[in-house]
């Protein structure tokens, strides 16, 4: 096994850890946000530090591999993809932390009617499924699974588009719930962004495995 092989193997293991940590944040934030669980929110904020630290380590390792070991072909694509996926995972974790921080500001429980009408639980589930699928795609080198993420993102976008109108109508009829309702709408926006980032990760995985660039291509 060459020095490059060893470093690629280590990088792959670190990427798997980064994915596991980020998935854990998304798993926890749904329960924490919907139940306003401050203890779970604190746990999410705490683990964000670990994710930030690991992101920096992976960046340094990628830079060292590129500068010192001259990878080519699929190894080069793998390292380049890891650099972008690493950054994207950290951004997803940032969104989870942002939702966790909202929990400290919300004064009253959410309206179950608004949560249902917006489809917030479905949005959480779809966003988490997209992240799960791209992580599994990376680990198994299954580009078909990465391709499947694009369709899921369409569902998130659809839910996001009607969320503002639903929230506006709800607030007009329930002015006393304005404060927490605006946080629900902000959560919708963050989940839509998580979907976009997961789709970007899927594109990088396809680039790595299939040597195809999908970025900015129209459907």
Q: How far apart are CA 56 and CA 90, in angstroms?
A: 10
Residue 10 confidence (pLDDT): 97
Residue 32 confidence (pLDDT): 97
Residue 141 confidence (pLDDT): 94
Split the chain (219 residues) into runs of 10 and give each run's mean pLDDT.
Answer: 94 98 97 96 96 98 96 95 98 98 94 95 97 96 94 94 94 94 96 97 94 64
Q: By the 8 A CB rule, do 127 and 194 touch?
A: yes
SS3 213: coil
Q: How far apart are CA 65 and CA 166, in angstroms?
A: 50
Residue 215 confidence (pLDDT): 63
Residue 212 confidence (pLDDT): 73
Among 100, 118, 125, residue whose Cα is nearest residue 177: 118
Residue 116 confidence (pLDDT): 96
Q: pLDDT tens digit string along 48-106?
A: 999 999 999 999 999 999 999 999 999 999 999 999 999 999 999 999 999 999 999 99
Residue 211 confidence (pLDDT): 84
Rounded to the nearest 10 degrees, the angle between the axes of helix 73-102 and helix 3-35 is 20
Domains, the chain, ordered by start: 3-210 (1.20.58.220)
CA dihedral 80, 86, 88, 91 (to 10 degrees): -150
Residue 90 confidence (pLDDT): 98
110 DSSP assignment: P
SS3 119: coil
Residue 89 confidence (pLDDT): 98
Structure tokens at 28: 């926890």
């Amino acid at each position: 096994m060459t020095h490059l092989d060893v470093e690629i193997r280590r990088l792959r293991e670190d990427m798997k850890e980064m994915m596991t940590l980020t998935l854990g944040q998304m798993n926890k934030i749904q329960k924490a946000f919907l139940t306003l669980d401050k203890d779970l929110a604190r746990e999410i904020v705490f683990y964000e530090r670990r994710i930030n630290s690991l992101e920096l380590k992976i960046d340094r390792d990628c830079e060292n591999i590129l500068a010192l070991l001259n990878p080519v072909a699929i190894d080069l694509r793998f390292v380049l993809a890891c650099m972008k996926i690493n950054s994207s995972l950290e951004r997803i974790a940032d969104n989870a932390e942002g939702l966790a921080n909202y929990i400290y500001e919300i004064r009253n429980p959410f309206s179950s009617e608004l949560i249902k009408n917006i489809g917030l639980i479905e949005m959480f589930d779809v966003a988490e499924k997209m992240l799960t699928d791209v992580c599994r795609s990376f680990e198994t080198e299954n580009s078909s699974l990465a391709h499947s993420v694009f369709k899921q993102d369409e569902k998130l976008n659809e839910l996001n588009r009607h969320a503002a109108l639903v929230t506006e109508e709800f607030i007009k009829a329930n002015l006393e719930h304005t404060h927490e309702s605006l946080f629900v709408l902000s959560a919708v926006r963050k989940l839509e962004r998580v979907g976009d980032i997961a789709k970007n990760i899927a594109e990088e995985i396809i680039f790595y495995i299939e040597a195809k660039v999908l970025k900015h291509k129209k459907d």
